Structure formats: C-alpha cells, structure tokens
Homo-oligomer: A and B are copies of this chain.
Amino acid sequence: MTASDVFTIEPWGLRESALELEHLARTESLFALSNGHVGVRGNLEEGEPSGLPGTYLNGVYERRPLPYAEAGYGFPEDGQTAINVTDGKIMRLLVDDEPFDVRYGELHAHERRIDFREGVLQREVEWTSPAGQQVLIRSWRLVSLTQRSVVALCLEVEVVGEEARVVVQSELVADEDLPVRGGDPRVAAALKEPLVHETGHAKGTGATLVHQTRASQLRIAAAMDHETECPQDVNIGTELNDNWARITFSTKLRAGETLRVVKYVTYGWSQQRTVPALRDQVAAAMAAARDSGWQGLVDEQRDYLRWFWERSDVEVDGDAELQQAVRFAMFHVLQAGARAEGRSIPAKGLTGPGYDGHCFWDTETFVLPVLTHTVPKAAADVLRWRHSTLPIARERAHQLGLEGAAFPWRTINGAECSAYWPAGTAAFHVNADIADALVRHLQATGDETLERDIGVELLIETARLWRSLGHHDRSGAFHIVGVTGPDEYSAIADDNVFTNLMARRNLRAAAEMVARHPRLAGSFDADHEEAAAWRDAAEAIVIPWDDELGVHPQSAAFTVYERWDFAATPDEAHPLFLHYPYFDLYRKQVVKQADLVLAIQRCGDAFTPEEKRRDFDYYEAITVRDSSLSACSQAVVAAEVGHLGLAYDYACEAAFMDLHDLGGNTADGLHMASLAGAWVALVEGLGGMRDEQRLKFTPQLPDGLDRLAFGLVRGDALLRVEVFPDRTRYQLVAGDHPVDLCHHGQDVRLSPGETVECSQERPPVVERPSQPPGREPIGRHSVTRRLS
C-alpha cells in the first residue's frame, strides 16, 4: 500500500483515511505542526506506536564531537544536533484499565486531517478495546502562529458501549527514548539523554520542568496546564519526577458521555537566562494561552491563516493534485518561517531530525524568495539571524586566512558544523547566496531600515570574502578557484559559473551600498577605494565557455571530463553517492543538482536566450537530481526556454517530494527547499516572474492547466496575477502607488485597485530534451512509480 492510497485529494487539506503503521514516521512529518519557534511532529497523542517522537525548539541543540581519522587545520571540532526537547504532546488514555493503543483491540476507523485554512490537526478514532469497550476518540492540536510559545491540544473521549472508567494521563516527558540514528557510538553517546534536570514543580492541573542540555548548556523550560469538561466528576492526580510530570484525569462515563481535556503547553529556552526567569517566562505564556482559551487560539489561528492565504494563495486549475500539493507546500513553508524570529529556518524546518536540524544555503536560496514575496517580515527575520552570526563568520574567515565573513555550510548557531571539507569549507557560494537573498529582499520590499541595520555590513563583509578568495591572473582576469559549487557531484573546481556570477552580484551590490551609504560603510572601514576594487574584480571575473560545444562548462574544464556512464548505471544505484565513490563522481560529467541551470535562473542577464537553450539541454542530459534542490530550478529554466510540459513535470516533482516521499526520507522531516520550490516552479517557472528593478512576467500555461493564479507582495503593494492559456490578468489588490511591470516584454502600469489584462501567444513547440535514462522527472502522471 502506498501513502497516496490513504490520502485523499482535496484542495485545502490533507486527509489520511486509515493509519499505516509502516509509514508512521513519514506521516508524522507530513502532519507536523510548527510556527518556526516550536515544532511538534504528528506523533499520536498516546505516545505509542510512534515512528520518531519529535518536539523541537528552533535553536536548541546539543554539542557533539566531530570525529576525524585524519584531522586537518580548520576542521570544525564540534558539531551541533537539534534535539528532541521535553515532549508535551503526550495524553495517554485508558479505558477500563486498557491502554488505548491502535495495535491492540479493534480499530474501526482512524482519520487524521488538517485544513490549511485552519492550521489545526484533527484526529478521529473509533476503537474497541481488547476487553470489548468501544469509544470514540477525537483530538485537535495546534501550534499557535499568534502565540509563539504555545502548543495546545484537545482530547475528547466518548463512551459508546457500557459505562466505562476513562483515565487520561497528560504528560511532559524529557529525554524520551529515540531510535538510534547514525553509526558513531561517540555521537550516539553524546546525544543520549542530552537533557539534565534542573527544577520542576507540579500542582493541581499544571506542571513545569526545567532542563539544561549537557554540553551546549542551553536551558529549556516547558509548562503544561489543563481544562476539563465532563458530565461526571473528574478526579485529578499530580505527579512529578526529574524527567517527567503527569496530570491524571479519571472519571466514569456512561454511553454517549464525553470527557474533554484541553491541554496547553508552553515552551521557553535561553542560553543566558536563569532558571527562575525561564520558569516565569513559560508561566506568563501559559497565562496568555489560558486567557485566550482553546477556542480563542483556534480563532486566532484561522485569522492568521486567512490573512496569509488572501495575499499568497496559489491557485492551479486543471490539476487537483498539484493544487493540493502547492498549498501543502506553502502551509509548511509558512509554518517553518512564520515565527522563527531571530533564528534560522533549518532544511527540514521543525518537522524532523534530518540533517541534524541544520540550516544550509537552502534557506536563502529556495525558501526566502517565497517568504520575501508572501510574508516579508519572516524573510527579514531570517536575514537578521544570519547577520547576527557575523562575528562567528568573521572568525571563520580569519581562521581560513580570508577577509570579511565566511558563513558556514551547515549550522544551527552560526558555527561551521560541516566535517566534509570539499563540500563544506569549499562551498563558498553560500555567502553569495545569503547576499543575493538580502539584495532581492531589499529590492522587493524597499525595506530601508533593514538595509541600514544589516544590509550594508553584510554585503561589505561578504564582498571582502570574495575579493580575498579570488585573484587576478597575469592577464588581469579574476578567478575563484578550488571551490565547490551547488552541484555536490563536483568539488574543488575552478571558476564555477554559478559561484562566479553570484560573487559578481555580491561584489557589485556591496560597491553600490558603499556609494549609497558612504558614512555607514565608513563605520565598517569600507571606502570608495575598496568598493572600486570590488567593481574591478566583478568586471574581470572569469565565466568559462566551451566554444566548440557552444555551452558553458559548469566550471573550468568540466565539459572535457568523461561523461558518466549513465547506460551502465542501474536505477537502484541512486542516489549515486551511496553507490559510487565521490572521487569518481567529482571527475566526471554527472550533475547531482542544478548548478549551471541555477546560474541561469538566478543570473539570467549573463546568458543570451540561445545560450540558455543550449546550456539547459546540455545539462538536462547529465543531471540526475539526486538532490531535492534541483527540480524547481529545472522547472524555471525549462519554462523560460520553452519546455512547458517539462516545466510542469518538474513543478510536480518539487511539489510532490514529501507527499509522495520521492526521496525516501520524508520520515526524517520535510524538504523545505523543495516545498518552497513548488511555489518557485509555478510563480517563477510557469508565471515567468522575475523580480529585478521591476517585476517582469512571461507567463505561459502548459497543456493540462487552465488557470494559474498567485499573489505577490512587493513593497506596500499586493498583486494578484491570474494566468490563462491565452492571457494574463494583473490586479493591484492593495497599495497606494501605481506599479510598473512587464508582461512578455510589454510595459504595463497598474494603478491602485486596477486590473489589466494582457494577451500572450503560445510559444513554439520545441523538442523536449532528454534526461539520463531512468532520471526523467517524476511527472504528474507517474508519481506512483517511485513510491516505496
């Protein structure tokens, strides 16, 4: 049975009509709730069975050793791993002494669903205990988007048959047992029971636990409190231990009677604040939550989401499955970023332990373009977080013998955690990715405060990195050698086109900042001389070109390399890095993920239309997409060069990544960049949106889609774009000033409230390029093929 068999296709929600125990970890990720500050996986309230219990606080990690058989100068010694914090989801149920466990007794019906307009995970269960007592169980759960410390649950138990004793044990549990992950016993040891008890108290229906992480010394407080509704008296018991607290509700219900327990959980953590301060913090959050009450929290949640969807909804007419998937995707991107506030957005959001909870370049490159155009404040918060790590990045640059700042390849707190140097240390493009996300955000929002607060300094420090990393050769050409580009099947390459083009943008943007803010730049010791050196380097940067083939080598000499023997590579040998040595992947023409194609997407002005077409076709034939960070970029460029059907297929692949578990690892958490990529593929791809000095669109619908509509925030303007096969309608939904945009090269001015309709022609049909055998996109009609 595949995941899709129990999931229904519906426009606004995700509904699972039966519980599949073998896919529990996967569905826990799909049903994860988060607000960017707190995240809880979709674990069953009763705690067991579970795939992977998970409650995460953004920024909370444990330190662990990074072992090396042969260490080297500058290799990071400590890693960071996001940990499962105190679990407040658990509400066990006993019916006449029989614990409710779906694996025992008889499960008549089990449904979980979430409506993306409401943000509440609901569950309905009909169950007969082994002793024959039948009950209806309903639960609701939310992680508040308006009160960022608050998780709230509501559990209702209705007795169907004879009178029964019903007991609900609601808990806080620290240091839960987790399945062992990874192979290194030292790492496993460092991460076993990372929480050390500090204090706890319990009284009546409430309890609080305060712990500290063993090595990283972060303090975490969790509190719970409850409200009950019941036609019968409810006895309440209170227990407290170092690592768990339990409030027990016990009653006797007759047929048709219901016990309802509402549980509020509040979280707080800090590196600096004391035990009393944190204890009081969660108590204050609890007071606010109880003040709102369950219904109040539910209402606030709905209001917040209404606000979000009104500005941001993407409508896809003609493909119900893609419609569902893109809303699922946007809902999770929102959940990951809404309230991150001063913290990163990890690659998996707060939905699972994958990638140790680290933040990569994914965040700025794939997630931020979506947030910048939908919830710009959330995007600004991420950029402010990056800026807050500048001291660590400066120190890292110094350690590497470079100027300016070197942001980490993977991190939680800003320190480099990558232990694999070719892909880690040498993947300097992350710095340009951050700078570019900032520049695009400033362009889209006109946020001058952000520009002054962080923009000037961040661009100056990253430009300094590039200037010191690169060098001029004898002829004056500026090279950046020995770096790893986006494609992780190449490493230690020279003059990677993506890296060089992005560095050029970075250098130029920094020079512009110095011109715009000379005094502020001066406070960072940057002057016009330094800016001139950046401009010179940008001007002289080398972009390799293979004249014979008429394509760009992804990096110098790349097109001279041997082509990977795709014909001899069996389907099951993907991802390749699990079946072939890196050294071999590195020295052959095989591309894990869009690299040159990403350069076309992000730095389109550096390519002629003909170059884009030829480059796209060339790389299409050698790109295996062993990364989830590829399909959306391929969709965007496919659409640009006229392969609309292919763009549509790639958009589907990006959107279905987790719903269909295309990577086979959704259990570890959702792929935020791929989910964001669904939006990118539709808005930048089929919508042809480019946000440069002004907004440009080249919308085109592939066969099979009747209409594509999306909202865009730009400055104080809110646009709505509706694409039909032959025309596009632009509406300025909100905003006081006219907006100039461009439709297929035609200038359009939108006045406030105005709607303008522009026509477009179908592009000429071009021959669809081929992919390596077996690596065709998981198109809209073939998704079941890859399901495990």
- Contacts of A79 on B, CB cut-off 8 Å? 69
Q: Determine which of B481, B562, B586 lies in contact with A561 in the assembled complex, contact meaning CB atoms within 8 Å.
A: B481
Q: Is the interface of A mostly helix, strand, loop or mixed?
A: loop
Q: Nearest CB to that of A426 among chain B residues?
A: B583
Q: Determine which of B73, B184, B557, B583 lies in contact with A556 in the assembled complex, contact meaning CB atoms within 8 Å.
A: B557
Give the CA-CA distance A68 to B74 in the complex, in Å: 16
- Contacts of A426 on B, CB cut-off 8 Å? 583
Closest CB in chain B relative to A477 CB, distance in Å: 9
Q: In the complex the two chains form, is A471's CB within 8 Å of B419's CB?
A: no
- Contacts of A483 on B, CB cut-off 8 Å? 587
Q: In the complex the two chains form, is A72's CB within 8 Å of B577's CB?
A: yes
Asked if A179 lies at the interface with its beta carbon under 8 angstroms from chain B, I say: no
Q: In the complex the two chains form, is A583's CB within 8 Å of B481's CB?
A: no
Q: In the complex the two chains form, is A582's CB within 8 Å of B73's CB?
A: yes
Within 8 A of B (CB), among A393-408: 399-401
Closest CB in chain B relative to A304 CB, distance in Å: 39
Q: In the complex the two chains form, is B186's CB within 8 Å of A186's CB?
A: yes
Q: In the complex the two chains form, is A400's CB within 8 Å of B584's CB?
A: yes
- Contacts of A186 on B, CB cut-off 8 Å? 67, 185-186
Q: In the complex the two chains form, is A425's CB within 8 Å of B69's CB?
A: no
- Contacts of A579 on B, CB cut-off 8 Å? 73
- Contacts of A185 on B, CB cut-off 8 Å? 186
- Contacts of A582 on B, CB cut-off 8 Å? 72-74, 421
Asked if A479 lies at the interface with its beta carbon under 8 angstroms from chain B, I say: yes
Asked if A392 lies at the interface with its beta carbon under 8 angstroms from chain B, I say: no
Give the CA-CA distance A474 to B549 in the complex, in Å: 10
Asked if A422 lies at the interface with its beta carbon under 8 angstroms from chain B, I say: yes
Q: Nearest CB to that of A494 among chain B residues?
A: B557
Give the CA-CA distance A582 to B425 in the complex, in Å: 10
Q: In the complex the two chains form, is B67's CB within 8 Å of A67's CB?
A: yes
- Scan A416-432; emit 1 where CB is below 8 A from any B CB, else 0: 00111110011000000
Asked if A276 lies at the interface with its beta carbon under 8 angstroms from chain B, I say: no
Q: In the complex the two chains form, is A581's CB within 8 Å of B69's CB?
A: no
- Contacts of A491 on B, CB cut-off 8 Å? 492
Within 8 A of B (CB), among A573-598: 577-584, 586-587
Q: In the complex the two chains form, is B577's CB within 8 Å of A73's CB?
A: yes
Q: Nearest CB to that of A185 among chain B residues?
A: B186
Asked if A747 lies at the interface with its beta carbon under 8 angstroms from chain B, I say: no
Q: Nearest CB to that of A71 among chain B residues?
A: B183
Q: In the complex the two chains form, is A422's CB within 8 Å of B492's CB?
A: yes
Known: A67-B184, A79-B69. A401 touches B580 (CB 8 A): yes
Chain A, interface residues (CB within 8 Å), range: 35 or more
Q: In the complex the two chains form, is B68's CB within 8 Å of A69's CB?
A: yes
Asked if A70 lies at the interface with its beta carbon under 8 angstroms from chain B, I say: yes
Give the CA-CA distance A483 to B583 in the complex, in Å: 8
Q: In the complex the two chains form, is B492's CB within 8 Å of A492's CB?
A: yes
Within 8 A of B (CB), among A477-519: 479, 481-483, 491-492, 494
Q: Determine which of B399, B401, B580 lies in contact with A73 in the assembled complex, contact meaning CB atoms within 8 Å.
A: B580
Q: In the complex the two chains form, is A420's CB within 8 Å of B69's CB?
A: yes
Q: In the complex the two chains form, is A400's CB within 8 Å of B581's CB?
A: yes
Asked if A9 lies at the interface with its beta carbon under 8 angstroms from chain B, I say: no
Asked if A5 lies at the interface with its beta carbon under 8 angstroms from chain B, I say: no
Closest CB in chain B relative to A354 CB, distance in Å: 14
Known: A479-B560, A557-B494, A587-B481. A419 touches B69 (CB 8 A): yes
Of A69, A183, A185, the most chain B CB neighbours within 10 A belong to: A69
Q: Nearest CB to that of A423 among chain B residues?
A: B70
Give the CA-CA distance A442 to B74 in the complex, in Å: 45
- Contacts of A548 on B, CB cut-off 8 Å? 474
Give the CA-CA distance A356 to B72 in the complex, in Å: 17
Give the CA-CA distance A587 to B74 in the complex, in Å: 16
Q: In the complex the two chains form, is B586's CB within 8 Å of A492's CB?
A: yes
Within 8 A of B (CB), among A377-392: none
Asked if A66 lies at the interface with its beta carbon under 8 angstroms from chain B, I say: yes
Q: Nearest CB to that of A74 among chain B residues?
A: B581
Known: A400-B583, A482-B587, A583-B425. A69 touches B72 (CB 8 A): no
Asked if A473 lies at the interface with its beta carbon under 8 angstroms from chain B, I say: yes
Give the CA-CA distance A579 to B420 in the complex, in Å: 19
- Contacts of A184 on B, CB cut-off 8 Å? 67-69
Known: A401-B584, A492-B586. A471 touches B562 (CB 8 A): yes
Give the CA-CA distance A213 to B494 in the complex, in Å: 47
Q: In the complex the two chains form, is B69's CB within 8 Å of A583's CB?
A: no
Q: In the complex the two chains form, is A422's CB within 8 Å of B422's CB?
A: yes
Within 8 A of B (CB), among A38-94: 66-74, 79
Closest CB in chain B relative to A74 CB, distance in Å: 4
Within 8 A of B (CB), among A322-374: none
Give the CA-CA distance A426 to B634 in the complex, in Å: 32
Give the CA-CA distance A332 to B55 in the complex, in Å: 63
- Contacts of A67 on B, CB cut-off 8 Å? 67-69, 184, 186
Q: Nearest CB to that of A556 among chain B residues?
A: B557
Give the CA-CA distance A66 to B422 in the complex, in Å: 19
Give the CA-CA distance A399 to B494 in the complex, in Å: 28
Q: A421-B583, A426-B583 are in contact. List 4 more A-B contacts (CB 8 A).
A: A73-B578, A74-B580, A479-B562, A492-B586
> Can you list the 8 inter-chain pairs with the closest CB atoms, starting with the nearest?
A482-B587, A69-B419, A67-B67, A471-B562, A74-B581, A66-B69, A70-B420, A492-B492
